[in-house]
Amino acid sequence: MLVCWKAWQSGIDLRQYDYQHFTASCIIRRTLTMQFQEFIFDPQLIKRFDVNGPRYTSYPTADRFVEAFNADSYKSWLGRRTVEGACRPLSLYVHLPFCNTICYYCACNKIITKDHGRSAKYIKYLGRELAMQAEALEGGRDVVQLHWGGGTPTFLSNEEMTRLMELIRSHFHLLPNGEYSIEVDPRKVDRETVKLLAELGFNRMSIGVQDFEPAVQKAVNRIQSLDETRLVMDSAREFGFHSISMDLIYGLPKQNVISFNHTLDEVLKLSPDRLSIYNYAHLPGLMKPQRRIQESDLPSPDAKLQILQLAIRRLTEAGYVFIGMDHFAKPEDELAVAQRGGRLHRNFQGYSTHAEADLLAFGVSAIGKVGPTYCQNVRTLDEYYDSLDRGVLPVMRGIELTADDLLRRSIIQALMCQFQIPIESIEIAHLIDFKSYFADELADLREMEQAELLEISDQWITVLPKGRMLARNIAMVFDRYLRSGREKTRYSKVI
């Protein structure tokens, strides 16, 4: 807190600070004196409060980014990343959009192809962007976190993956004890590929599964056997991966409680370190591949809720910790450890650690965070290549956060990650009187307080066990852009 006051007194722009570490010490002390309460799944409350809303992988959300924040804006912030000699470590995200086949449920920015000439060209241009961002970067280039997402990163050949990692290491220093993760499609990976990934430095893996039921897999055009999945997980453990995450989806066509229970049987036998259970949002008007899914095959809202309730019960009975929203982890996993320590963070890959890091993003549609800014790259390959050919960073849009944005971001992060807001710490870090500043928001929270979703005291706003599944709803109360009357229907359902 002293550094915040020192900056304020000397006239430094406080927007250059990320305030999460100011609240972390208070959360740690409180967390150490109490166990995280078990959450309560109350179907009636969920139905009552289930509305459309953001996932808050950022605040402001990406749909609030503006084109006025361009490549020059981003380059400027790369060049003044330090404050009074302080320099945040780096997290890198690389978007690899290529897939061999299309999964009908998928809403990612992807390119369906079997032509590796396209991926070879893309890696060449990624090298250009890596060089341009590194050249513009002020301060150190130490990396504590790296993630390859997609698309399907393992679409790349072994030679292509090796080349891309060489390019990254030529511009940045990956620290020995960092978190280096990759999304894996078990249908395209064998034991030797997993061995190569370990040799390249990856130590965390996210595996897409969605559902093991054959009828569901056929309906979404993703046929993936249990044996293929087991082979990848066994190989990852053999070659020293620290954490294996698995992705499931509820609400898919042909899915029901009985079939998903069988999927959970197999998942628990495989024993991943982390689990994400995402809500399938059927938006065929926006996502063309989803038009191949028959709406009559989708489970009813009640059945969908029952599937989620089943998954939560079985995972918690098996010892997994509810991290938040759709994430679960074993108690010893670093995600759960970070939550207990007040260091949990939420970004464009979901829940994460290393909240203090600046996030540099590379590739089409990738979103990064540097200081008090967010930026997103162009969405198509043609735009991406054209921009880099002109020697311009491929930034499509972004935003420079105001003091109010930073304040509300710290509150929403605290709610989504720790289920509590330390009022005094927020006041000191942001130089406000909480009750006056958020008088309208506190009034709006009273209905949720009466429904026992949360508790408001002089020092804390605490999400209660019944409210943990609805943390997004609580966060939405503090979203200034939603409060100003913007449409909520653009978002998916909260549950």
Is 403 annotated in some ligand binding site?
A: no
3-state helix, strand, coil in the chain (%, to 5): 45, 20, 35
Q: Of the candidates 36, 15, 53, which has an alpha carbon nearest to the alpha carbon of residue 344?
A: 36
Is 398 annotated in some ligand binding site?
A: no
Is 151 annotated in some ligand binding site?
A: yes
Is 93 annotated in some ligand binding site?
A: yes
Is 150 annotated in some ligand binding site?
A: yes
Sign of the dihedral defined by the CA atoms of residues 56, 432, 456, 418, in that order: positive
Is 107 annotated in some ligand binding site?
A: yes
Indicate the Cα dihedral angle 179, 185, 188, 189, nearest 10°. 30
Is 103 annotated in some ligand binding site?
A: yes
Q: What is the DSSP letter of 68?
A: T
Is 125 annotated in some ligand binding site?
A: no
CA atoms within 13 A on the CB side of 284: 8
CA distance 45 to 216: 29
Pairing of strands 350-352, 345-347: antiparallel
**Sheet hosting strand 454-456, strand order edge to edge:** 420-422, 460-463, 454-456
CA distance 208 to 190: 15
Cβ atoms of 204 and 173 closer than 8 Å: no
Q: Helix 301-317 vs helix 257-270: angle between axes, to the nearest 10 degrees?
A: 30
Residues sharing a CB contact under 8 Å with residue 41, sequence separation 6 or more, in sequence order: 309, 312, 313, 469
Is 222 annotated in some ligand binding site?
A: yes
Is 152 annotated in some ligand binding site?
A: yes
Is 338 annotated in some ligand binding site?
A: no
Is 108 annotated in some ligand binding site?
A: no
Q: Of the candidates 51, 95, 56, 84, which has an alpha carbon nearest to the alpha carbon of residue 475?
A: 56
Is 4 annotated in some ligand binding site?
A: no
Is 361 annotated in some ligand binding site?
A: no
CA 242 to chain centre: 19
Is 281 annotated in some ligand binding site?
A: yes
CA 398 to chain centre: 18
Binding positions are 93, 99, 103, 105-107, 150-152, 183, 210, 222, 247, 281, 367
Q: Which parts are annotated binding residues for [4Fe-4S] cluster?
A: 99, 103, 106
The annotation places the binding site for S-adenosyl-L-methionine at 93, 105-107, 150-152, 183, 210, 222, 247, 281, 367
